[in-house]
Structure 1
Amino acid sequence: MDELKNLLQHAGIPQFYLKLVFGMLSSFLLTFFTIPTISKISRRKNLMDEPGVRSSHLRKIPNLGGIAIFYSIGVCASVFAFELFDIYKFLFASLVILLYIGVMDDIVVMRAYKKLIAQIIVTAFMVIGSDVRLRSFFGLFGIYELNYFFSVAISIFTFIVLINAFNLIDGIDGLAGGYSILCSAMFGISYFHLGEYNYPLVVLSGTIIASVAAFLYYNLSAQRNTKIFMGDTGSMILGFLLAFTAICFIDIFIDKELRGVPRYYLQSAPSIAMAILILPIVDTLNVFIIRTFKGQSPFRADRNHIHHTLLDLGLTHRRSTFYILLYYLMIVGTAYYFRHINVNLLLLVIITLGFMGAYLPKGLLFIRKKTN
């Protein structure tokens, strides 16, 4: 290993770039060549997603693609970003538990309370065991440093909300995968610009991007025999990892110095993280509001999600995914442009734009029904 390091130094190639390139390449190839085997076994054993009331597909499709995503990220991140697993001792154990409950839910459908208990255990591992938590609100709602117990509670809540919210947007081809790529890219670029201390998180983001890109090759396939869904396994793992990277992103800006050296400080960090993850948050809040207004249970499955409305407008899965991603990418761009304004004002702008994106398609659908 030392000889390899010396060789790289003489060649003038930083180790980080090699880790990033080989990590992404390995992650892509592992997912790409694993999914056909998973798909074949799923079809042979009839481990398929059956069309339902809120489904956007009309035939049975394998739904265990999340196994390949876990496999590639778990292997490649632990090899090329091994520092993360030294710092966050419970990271890999949490991913394994999520894999187990995800596969169980995709195959036999677990009761909601059992999934919730497992998610609380996983997030408690990370928040308490690995100390991955929100420590400050940076002046959001007039709150700065958080009490430890409140910090733990709000961090566990944040993890669970994002895990389940990400699961809810996985309703049409390419949306959850495409959105996770965008989020990972934005967090990864941010980590890169914030210094080499955060390079392992850049590599983790890269492995997520590469793995999901390989998955999308099959998820967006028009051929019946190659199409696959990520299932709850994939959506929960990706939601968990994006919550993890978001909290790590916010945590970076708490200290204005690193080892005595002044560092870039961004007071609006919580609002920027919210902007990056705004789609699953707004979509979940939107359907909960609609269900509550109708006197229904907030947890009842329906077709009130943003992507369902776009499908009702006559758009295809790909066009719906494209328009949703483009709109919410605009929100991130807006947040970044105004990143130095008051954190509360920026959050208000982000949430307003987020809900506009949720209700605009519903308004168009209402107008179409009235005119027809």
Structure 2
Amino acid sequence: MNEIVKGGLESLGISLFYAKLVLGMVFSFALTFFSIPTIVKISRRKNLMDEPGIRSSHLRKIPNLGGIAIFYSLAVCASIFAFELFELYKFLFASLVILLYIGVMDDIVVMRAYKKLLVQIIVTALMVLGSDVRIRSFFGVLGIYELSYTVSVIFSMFTFIVLINSFNLIDGIDGLSGGYSIICSALFGISYFRLGEFNYPLVVLSAVIIGSVIGFLYYNLSPYRTNKVFMGDTGSMILGFLLAFTAICFIDIFIDKQLPDVPRYFLQTAPAVTVAILILPIVDTLNVVIIRLLNRQSIFAADKNHIHHSLLELGLTHRRSSAYIMVYYLFVVMVAYFYRHINVNYLLVLVLTLGFIGAYIPRLILYLRKETN
């Protein structure tokens, strides 16, 4: 069937890949865009709303099940336009369904942290052990190259779990988590495209993620209270999981597997470039954990020590705060790309240093304001 469609498109002068790319993005946008109003309506009728709390930056109850629409569009469009991924990674779809279930439960009932962590361990085990999605080498970071199977499995599962929860943590103001997901997906998608046809299904997946999140952001950034929606833990966990998946696949591309379709291009700094693309959730999480440990608080305690909280204290709106954060960390990615051929350890230190500088600039401005007053 695929060959028939491919032949028909090529007879019209249309590449099958570009058709999948465009249709995947368009349909994923449409499914999210048209399903959210129904979700909002049901949420309001059943009072399934996000209540303002200690970490909240909103004052009213807002529907928080927008992640269901994101999952719906991703599940439908990815399985149609990037079905090769579900054939290659057998447990990918099952992992998404499990995260959907646990995310919806947490958005409605609020689950205990250890229960969510247990499910995340199960999901990451399915991907790492079942689908063999692993970080196999450090490319010389700290002098470490190829990892043993056991170390590779443990570190890959840890990476999945950290990124899933990191994206959940940055989902604190309008547009930030969704907007940054679009940036990450676009950067990974462009990189996959440049690395050859073997990676085209991952390019299409990136386009599907972008389309679905754009459909969500239309409502998330809506100035009208009746249309506004949050993605909730459902959306942030699914996006964090998929970006962790695409990040690990990106690093894995540069491992020599002796396959003819794998590009010969080798990027020694692949781990550092990947960290640069995902720098916001990584730095924000590290920053919060460090502050909580210094204050002798539980690392799971709720607070307002995130980067976006500092910007809100400066008087910026949600949109301007999100824009500042995304522009600054795009600058970090540009620096990483410009210096991608230097030693991987130097580049990693440079990326993390710039990342933390961006996190502390708002705090420095707040401190100087207080001193002058």
Q: Normalising by structure 2, what TM-score? A: 0.98
Shift of 1:4: 3.0
Shift of 1:17: 0.2
Equivalences for 1:162-177 in 2 at 5 Å? 162-177=163-178
1:10 corresponds to which letter in structure 2?
A: S
In structure 1, what is the Cα distance between the partners aligned to 2:342 and 2:258? 22
**Contact residue 256 and residue 263 of structure 1 kept, 8 A:** no
Cα distance per residue 1:93-120 (max 9 Å; x no partner): 0000000000000000001000000000
- The answer to whether 1:51 aligns with 2:46 is no
The secondary structure found in structure 2 opposite 1:254 is: coil
The secondary structure found in structure 2 opposite 1:57 is: coil
Structure-2 residue corresponding to 1:304:
305
2:321 corresponds to which letter in structure 1?
A: S
Structure-2 residue corresponding to 1:120:
121
The secondary structure found in structure 2 opposite 1:279 is: helix
Equivalences for 1:343-362 in 2 at 5 Å? 343-362=344-363
Shift of 1:53: 1.2
Distance of aligned partners of 1:93 and 1:342 in 2 relative to their CA distance in 1, 3 Å threshold: same
The secondary structure found in structure 1 opposite 2:206 is: helix
Structure-1 residue corresponding to 2:212:
211
**Contact residue 257 and residue 263 of structure 1 kept, 8 A:** no
The secondary structure found in structure 2 opposite 1:138 is: strand
In structure 1, what is the Cα distance between the partners aligned to 2:145 and 2:158? 18
In structure 2, what is the Cα distance between the partners aligned to 1:321 and 1:9? 42
Q: Indicate the RMSD between aligned Cα atoms, in angstroms.
A: 1.1
Identify unmatched segments of 5+ residues in structure 1: none
The secondary structure found in structure 2 opposite 1:282 is: helix
In structure 2, what is the Cα distance between the partners aligned to 1:261 and 1:112? 40
Cα distance per residue 1:238-277 (max 9 Å; x no partner): 0000000000000000117541886111010000000000
In structure 2, what is the Cα distance between the partners aligned to 1:352 and 1:111? 34
Structure-2 residue corresponding to 1:193:
194
Mean Cα deviation higher: 245-254 or 259-268: 259-268
In structure 1, what is the Cα distance between the partners aligned to 2:238 and 2:177? 12
Structure-2 residue corresponding to 1:131:
132
**Contact residue 31 and residue 214 of structure 1 kept, 8 A:** yes
In structure 1, what is the Cα distance between the partners aligned to 2:5 and 2:302? 54
Identify unmatched segments of 5+ residues in structure 2: none
The secondary structure found in structure 2 opposite 1:110 is: coil
Structure-2 residue corresponding to 1:67:
68
The secondary structure found in structure 2 opposite 1:144 is: strand
- The answer to whether 1:18 aligns with 2:22 is no
* Identity between Structure 1 and Structure 2 (%): 75
- The answer to whether 1:368 aligns with 2:365 is no
Mean Cα deviation higher: 248-257 or 347-356: 248-257
Shift of 1:3: 3.9
**Contact residue 188 and residue 250 of structure 2 kept, 8 A:** yes
Structure-1 residue corresponding to 2:315:
314
In structure 2, what is the Cα distance between the partners aligned to 1:297 and 1:260? 48
Equivalences for 1:1-372 in 2 at 5 Å? 1=1, 2-255=3-256, 258-259=259-260, 263-372=264-373
In structure 2, what is the Cα distance between the partners aligned to 1:32 and 1:6? 32
The secondary structure found in structure 2 opposite 1:213 is: helix
1:49 corresponds to which letter in structure 2?
A: D
In structure 1, what is the Cα distance between the partners aligned to 2:114 and 2:240? 18
Shift of 1:12: 2.0
1:226 corresponds to which letter in structure 2?
A: N
**Contact residue 256 and residue 264 of structure 1 kept, 8 A:** no
**Contact residue 124 and residue 156 of structure 1 kept, 8 A:** yes
In structure 1, what is the Cα distance between the partners aligned to 2:130 and 2:176? 32
